[in-house]
Amino acid sequence: MPLDPAQRHQIEQDAITAAWEAERLAACDDAIALLREVTDLECDDDGNAIIGTDADSHNDLMSRITAFLAQHDQLRNSPCPN
């Protein structure tokens, strides 16, 4: 028996919402992984993390955080699709 248009629409909306929520959860997992790396950094006497650079003034962790934020900025500004 075919679905009526309202049922079909609700199923489509549920699928869109589930995909949106999965993307947000994946972004949270990525953010938690980055934060765990920050907590593993050496700290100074005041408890501030020491984030150093290599000889070429590059910092892999900061580059990855910047890339993460740029990639997920659209998620921060996007409302739930329903």
3 state SS of 43:
strand
Mean of all residue pLDDT scores within the chain: 79
On whether residue 82 sits in a domain, the answer given is: no
Instruction: Indicate if the pLDDT at residue 80 is higher than 90.
Output: no
On whether residue 17 sits in a domain, the answer given is: yes
**What's residue 47's pLDDT?**
77
**What's residue 8's pLDDT?**
92
Range of weakest confidence among 12-16, 37-41, 53-57:
53-57
Q: How many domains does the chain have?
A: 1
Measured at the CA of 66, the angle between CA 64 and CA 32, to 5 degrees, comes to: 60
Cβ atoms of 32 and 39 closer than 8 Å: no
- What is the b/e burial string over 28-50, where b = at least 16 CB atoms within 10 angstroms of the residue's CB? eeeeeeeeeeeeeeeeeeeeeee
Range of the domain at 20: 5-77
